[in-house]
Amino acid sequence: MTPTRRDRLLVHLTADLVILTIRAGVLHVLLVERGTVPFLGRWALPGGFLRGAETLDGTAVRELREETGLDAERFHLEQVGVYSAPDRDPRDQRIVTCSYLAIAPDLPVPTAGSDARAAVWRPVDELLDDPEGLAFDHGRILRDAVDQARAKLQFTTIATSFCPPEFTVSELREVFEAVWGVSLDRPNFHRKVTDAEGFLAPTGRRRASAGGRPAALFRAGPATALMPPMLRPPGGSGR
């Protein structure tokens, strides 16, 4: 029977997480090896089905805790998009997912959840070069989340979410360079971020550096919008 406009469709909801961190100066994402069908043995973004009385935001928070062992309060967490293509999941059920971007600094080596064989950090650019290598439509979801992070670095203070509670301007510059895939002029970057209203808050402390003067330490300031914006220079990684 051909469906009509009045037919109702049973839909199952999931939340998928793009968990980003910077390791050794390189942008990484958390992947899990699937331990169940479909896509048994394939790498995928962590995520799971909406349960009981949860909201989708609650599902994302729970999956974040289960996949990293960390509380969501430590993360910058925001929605990226909803994915509802009929063929995005090969199971008989219609499954729609809401993707979330999660950012935190210095995340540990992950441990696999109950339905995963393994969990690893993988460099983002390697995966963007081969989006079909991930299960489901997770290559597209990863691309959208990374594009969102790259764009928001220009106009918001999201970059500090990659940093520890106290950080140097050099460490902040390394965040922009890792996410954007560019090299930035040090004096120009220092001037821009310290002049941006509410972006950084001085702590009054310094950290010793190898072979140089102690570097001033900052923490994230109260601003959420970056004024003036930090426009991404041409030539960065755009994969």
Q: Is 143 exposed, middle or buried (0-12, 13-18, 19+ CB in 10 A)?
A: middle
C-alpha span between 228 and 16 (Å, rounded): 33
112: its two tokens: 């696999």
Rounded CA gap, 17 and 66, in Å? 12
Phi, psi of 208, deg, nearest 5: -65, 140
Residues 133, 138, 143, 147, Cα dihedral to 10°: -160
Whether the CB-CB separation of 80 and 45 falls below 8 Å is answered with no
For the chain, the helix, strand and coil percentages under 3-state DSSP, each to the nearest 5? 30, 30, 40
Which helix (H) or strand (E) element contains residue 23? strand 11-23
Question: How many Cβ atoms are within 10 Å of 69's Cβ, its own excluded?
Answer: 12
Rounded Cα–Cα distance for residues 110 and 65 (Å): 11
Query: In this structure, are strands 94-103 and 11-23 parallel, antiparallel, or unpaired?
Result: parallel
**Length of the chain in residues, anyone?**
239
pLDDT in the model for residue 66: 82
Distance of CA 175 to the CA centre of its chain: 13
Looking at residue 113, what is its pLDDT?
Answer: 64
pTM check: above 0.85: yes
Give the position of tokens 């040090």. 186
Residue 7 neighbours by CB under 8 Å, 6+ apart:
none
The upper half-sphere exposure of residue 215, i.e. CA atoms within 13 Å in the direction of its Cβ, equals: 14
pLDDT in tens, the chain (239 residues): 565 666 788 999 999 999 999 999 999 999 999 988 999 999 999 999 999 999 999 999 998 888 777 788 888 999 999 999 999 999 999 999 999 999 999 888 777 665 667 889 999 999 999 989 999 999 999 999 999 999 999 999 999 999 999 999 999 999 999 999 999 999 999 999 999 999 999 999 999 876 678 999 999 999 999 999 999 998 766 54
